[in-house]
Amino acid sequence: MRLTKMHGLGNSYLFLDGMAGPVPPDEVLPELARAVSDRNFGIGSDGLILVLPPRDREAQFRMRIFNADGSEGEMCGNGIRCLARLVFDRGYTRDTEFVVETKAGAIRPRLHLVDGRVEAVTVDMGVPRLERGAIPMAGPATERAVEVPLRVATGAGSAEEFIVTAVSMGNPHCVVFVDDVDAVDLQRLGPAFEHHPAFPQRVNTHFAQVLGPSRVRVRVWERGSGPTLACGTGACAVAVAGAVTGRTGRQVTVELPGGPLEIRWEEDGHVSMTGPAAYVAEITYDPH
Ligand SMILES: N[C@H](CCC[C@H](N)C(=O)O)C(=O)O
């Protein structure tokens, strides 16, 4: 099986090209994602992404993302930048702006070319939704700040209370503003948030330290993949949370461990994300 490993700021995925031929049936995809993502017995990545022909006439492509644990996410910001570069470089489209169908809806990447080479990708990530005080998320994002106390079991019968802002980018995110991201015990808190009963679909959690009105440092614990170097949908959620809680403006550089993403929450309500997309390797996956 031919796979292409790519990454966006170190958030890496294995791409299975369903434009060039058939992909395995649905029932084997979770196990395939787990197997190829395994950093010891497999190739190693944060998950598996399928590039597929669209079902929706509006779209030129369809993306499915599976996390390293085999669970299927609705969207992937770093992954869709990589998909956009890959389909252009393989000649599946000559357009530099197109629609990709995802479980989170129609997502529009726009390629930035320099001498015909994809230098960066800007993605219209759609309209965020804020939780309404009763997590999980519902209803459109509004300017009103919405912060919710959340008691999180932190092991050995103890619990801590955090103030969180939950934002959906089609996939669920929980943003926790802290004074010092380096002081966050991610290995302990990440799973406690991910599996919190307030999030019946689990949740991607982002600990964010505001450095200024347009700069935030973030550490990520992803639903289904654990600690990653970057999360594109999460960076969008952090920017929206910063704006609605009055901590930042609507244009934010989100500094992730793998590098920065430029996020703008546009006046039309859509969030745009700009960042890189890089190849790592073409791989023949052939376990036996
Ligand atoms: N790394 C991805 C997010 C994957 C989200 C996935 N963990 C989920 O279950 O929602 C990104 O760049 O947006």
As a whole number, mean pLDDT of residues 129-154 equals 67
Q: What is the pLDDT of residue 155?
A: 80
User: Is the shortest distance between the CB of 12 and ligand 1 below 6 Å?
Assistant: no
The ligand 1 atom at the shortest distance from the C-alpha of residue 11 is 1
d(Cα 255, Cα 29) in Å, to the nearest integer? Answer: 32
Domains 2-126+275-284 and 132-269 share a fold: yes
As a whole number, mean pLDDT of residues 137-155 equals 69
Reported as a pLDDT band with limits 50, 70 and 90, residue 145 is very low
Q: What is the pLDDT of residues 235-247, one digit of tens each?
A: 999 999 999 999 9
Closest C-alpha to 175, from 135, 136, 141, 206: 206
Q: What is the pLDDT of residue 207?
A: 98
Residue with tokens 């390629």: 111
As a whole number, mean pLDDT of residues 118-129 equals 96
**Known catalytic residue: 76?**
yes
pLDDT, mean over the chain: 94
Q: Three-state SS across 194-209? A: HCCCCCCCCCEEEEEE
Class of the domain covering 2-126+275-284: alpha beta
Reported as a pLDDT band with limits 50, 70 and 90, residue 131 is low
Reported as a pLDDT band with limits 50, 70 and 90, residue 141 is low
CATH fold of 132-269 reads Diaminopimelate Epimerase; Chain A, domain 1 (3.10.310)
Reported as a pLDDT band with limits 50, 70 and 90, residue 130 is confident
Q: What is the pLDDT of residues 56-79, one digit of tens each?
A: 999 999 999 999 999 999 999 999
Closest C-alpha to 145, from 237, 243, 250: 243
Q: What is the pLDDT of residue 143?
A: 46
Percent of the chain at pLDDT > 70 equals 95
**Known catalytic residue: 174?**
no
Q: How far is the CA of 115 from the centre of ligand 1 (A)?
A: 31
* pLDDT > 90? residue 255: yes
- Which of 7, 205, 222, 254 has the most ligand 1 atoms within 8 A of CB, as the residue to mutate? 222
Q: What is the pLDDT of residue 76?
A: 98
Question: Which range (73-82, 132-141, 210-219) has the least confidence?
Answer: 132-141
Q: What is the pLDDT of residue 116?
A: 94
Which protein residue has the closest C-alpha to ligand 1 atom 8?
A: 73
User: Is the shortest distance between the CB of 205 and ligand 1 below 6 Å?
Assistant: no
**Domain-wise residue ranges, the chain:** 2-126+275-284, 132-269
Looking at the DSSP assignment, which residues form a beta bridge with residue 132?
Answer: none
Q: Model-level pTM? A: 0.95
* pLDDT > 90? residue 8: yes
Sequence letter at residue 196: H
Q: How far is the CA of 81 from the centre of ligand 1 (A)?
A: 13
User: Is the shortest distance between the CB of 150 and ligand 1 below 6 Å?
Assistant: no
Q: What is the pLDDT of residues 181-209, one digit of tens each?
A: 999 999 999 999 999 999 999 999 999 99
Q: Three-state SS across 211-248? A: EECCEEEEEEEECCCEEECCCHHHHHHHHHHHHHCCCC
